[in-house]
Amino acid sequence: MNRSVAGRFGRPPSLSTRCLPMHTRHDRKRNNSYTSLFISATPLRNIMMKRHLCLLTLTIGLAVFTPIGLIAAEGVTLSQVSNVSRLHSAVSDNYAIDAQLQGIARPKQEASLRFPTVGQVSRIHIVEGAKAKAGQPLITLDDRPQAAEVAVARVAAQSKANIIQAEVAVKRALRSLQRVKEAKAVDASSSFEVEAKQNDYDEAIAVLEQQKELIKNLEAQLQLAIAKQDQMTLTAPFEGQVMLIGIKQGNSVDTTTSVIQIADLSLLDVEMHLPSQLFGSVAVGETKLLRAGAPINRKVAATIRYVSPVIEPTGGTFLVRMEIENNDGSLPAGFEVWYQ
């Protein structure tokens, strides 16, 4: 079979034969006449394509799995590869430094408010996006039981009848004591009578003091009832803008429910961990231009409020805090900034 192929094409068919599937070679051993007929019917270009396919497969394997093969295939020298490695290292270092020079503009103050007690939402006094002044009511729970308790405590605390009665008794006892003392001075009364009137007067004074203490306790109970009622209303802890209202009228809440979020956007805080190479180049009170990302996409002025005197040994950075004025509210919170 080999001689017939060699005689026909003038070269050994070993490579093309090896590139044929195993079952084809086995079939050729079992049936030479069939194989000779198959090869004689195969055009020369098919055999050449199979040989080139084998060589191409070998070349691709070397290029993929051998770095030197890749370099040779692309015509890249070892010195060029070294330059690329150094460039990659430099880019990585620059990326790390750029990450250090990046910060987020956050609200100066922000709070997520919760009720200190359980209850049902009765009134929502404000809408999302509105500005609230410090102390302004935001949300109120049903406070009818607390209001009734306040009313009762106020009536009791404001009741002066017992004190007035005690004061009258004191005055009466004092006059009696004075008369007895005057009579004793002219021997018209005994020492026993003077002592008895003195005891009456002391008792009247003690009753008056008890009534005064009682009024103080009633007033304290009134203040406690008022404090309980105040807990049923959330007020703004500072002047700011309502960012989110998480409940609706009629909802039940407990001490774990975050019902409203408020933030002061008049000042935006930025924290950055600058590399130690910049230590000494920034000072408190200075104004720096920061490059703001989307959606601002321009430079913004920031005032340095704090420079840490400590350089972190692990990262080689120091903390810097800056403030961006935003009195007109034109800047949203949460955008990225980069140190220039």
User: Is 88 within 8 Å of 225 (Cβ atoms)?
Assistant: no
- What three-state secondary structure class fits 234? strand
Say yes or no to pLDDT of 134 above 80.
yes
Distance separating alpha carbons of residues 207 and 163, to the nearest angstrom: 9
- Between the two ends of the chain, the Cα-to-Cα distance in Å is 80
CA angle, corner 37, sides to 35 and 39, nearest 5? 70
Distance separating alpha carbons of residues 274 and 96, to the nearest angstrom: 11
Q: What is the DSSP letter of 278?
A: G
- Model pLDDT for residues 160-204, shown as the tens digit of each residue: 888 888 889 999 999 988 888 888 788 777 888 888 888 998 999
- Read off the pTM: 0.56
Task: Give the pLDDT mean for 118-130.
Answer: 95
Res. 158 pLDDT band, cuts 50 70 90:
confident
- Model pLDDT for residues 298-326, shown as the tens digit of each residue: 999 999 999 999 999 888 999 999 999 99
- Model pLDDT for residues 226-243, shown as the tens digit of each residue: 999 999 999 999 999 999
58 token code pair: 């070998």
Residue with the bigger pLDDT between 142 and 67: it is: 142
- The closest alpha carbon to 266, from 241, 290, 287, belongs to 241
pLDDT number for residue 57: 56
Q: Measured in whole angstroms, how far is the alpha carbon of residue 96 from the centre of its chain? A: 24
- Model pLDDT for residues 26-65, shown as the tens digit of each residue: 444 444 444 443 344 344 344 445 554 554 555 455 444 4
Cα–Cα distance list, 7 to 12, 50, 170, 231 (Å): 9, 20, 148, 107
- Ranges of each domain in the chain: 2-74, 143-231, 264-339
User: Is 338 within 8 Å of 290 (Cβ atoms)?
Assistant: yes
Q: If one looks up domain 264-339 in CATH, what number appears?
A: 2.40.30.170
**Burial of 232 from C-beta contacts in 10 A (0-12 / 13-18 / 19+):** buried
pLDDT number for residue 302: 95
Q: What is the mean pLDDT of the chain?
A: 78
Residue length of the chain: 340
Task: Give the pLDDT mean for 208-236.
Answer: 92
